[in-house]
Amino acid sequence: MYGDPHQPQGLVTTWTNALHPHALYFAGYVDPTRPSFTSISQQILTDVTQQALSGHHQSLITRDFAPQHPFNLWLTKHEFHLIRTTYLPQLTLTTTGLPDAHATVLSAAQVLANPKLCQQLSAWAYQDYAQTHLNNPVISQSPEAWQARIFRDQILEAPLALMVNEHLEAWLFSFADSPTSVAIAWPGERHSGQLDHLLPVILNWLQRHFHTLAGEFDTTDPLAMHLQSRLPFPPTAAYMTYQRQLPISNKRI
């Protein structure tokens, strides 16, 4: 905490992410009505920067829902740049109304029963994830390790992979958030347009088992943004991620 201990005017908390170990994450708040707003904001930035450099982190990251509070706006004038906007919409599944498609689709259980196919999907899914997180790189992962991560909460009975002439062409993961709510994530395709053939099959299955559909769509992932545009999600708040690069050789605040 910063300022008077009995009436703190600012606070900050920091943490790390094992999947993205190169950044130090933080969330801060400074009372914008106090004359000390600028000095406390500067002190917080100095402190988290020193902590990041001590931990050999390459960048600082903070994020929050729009509109940003004054401290985060102050950060944007001190070398913090918007690197990603994330949307977390929900809709009632009975409103999707997409026609089914005649396609060969495998469930997650069927994919897991085919080690070669599962390894191929996991490797491609990792490549896609890494490509959409270039600003904050993901740790190196083997197909086996990434498979364990992405299949951990996948609904085994749900459709997962589109096959064309016995070749994997598209995939979309489904995770049960609750007995009535399901989330879709990590879309992928080998050729443009193939995900559109898989999506109706997955939605029709999900509609028979869940009431609410949720998604997490990042602007750094063009396919995820396309997926969001294909569904009638209502407008939702933007979750904005800001980053400041910290070259180890430059400790200037």
pLDDT tens string 75-103: 999 999 999 999 999 999 985 556 666 77
Average pLDDT over residues 39-44: 96
Q: The pTM is what?
A: 0.90
Q: What is the pLDDT of residue 7?
A: 82
Q: What is the pLDDT of residue 95?
A: 59
Burial of 76 (0-12, 13-18, 19+ CB in 10 A): middle
Closest CA to 107 of 166, 154, 167, 164: 154
Return the number of other C-beta atoms located less than 10 Å from residue 136's C-beta: 20
Confirm if 220 and 83 have CB atoms less than 8 A apart.
Answer: yes
Q: How far apart are CA 155 and CA 97, in angstroms?
A: 22
Residues 6+ away with beta carbon under 8 Å from 3: 9, 10, 31, 34, 36, 40
Q: Compute the C-alpha angle 162/112/231, nearest 5°.
A: 40
Average pLDDT over residues 232-253: 82
3-class DSSP state of 203 = helix
Q: What is the pLDDT of residue 96?
A: 58
Average pLDDT over residues 10-14: 96
Q: How far apart are CA 51 and CA 17, in angstroms?
A: 15
- Give the pLDDT band (50/70/90) at residue 168: very high
Ramachandran region of residue 56, left (φ > 0), alpha (ψ -120 to 50) or beta? left
Write down the H helix ranges in the chain: 37-54, 70-75, 108-112, 115-131, 143-150, 194-207, 222-229
CA–centroid distance for 118 within its chain: 22
Q: What is the pLDDT of residue 5?
A: 77
Q: What is the pLDDT of residue 250?
A: 46
pLDDT tens-digit readout, 42-84:
999 999 999 999 999 999 999 999 999 999 999 999 999 999 9
Average pLDDT over residues 184-210: 94
Q: How far apart are CA 85 and CA 110, in angstroms?
A: 34
Could you tell me the domains of the chain?
2-86+239-245 (3.40.630.30), 90-236 (3.40.630.30)
| Whole-number percent of the chain with pLDDT over 70 | 95
Rounded mean pLDDT of the chain? Answer: 93
Instruction: Give the lowest-confidence range in 2-16, 168-182, 228-242.
Output: 2-16
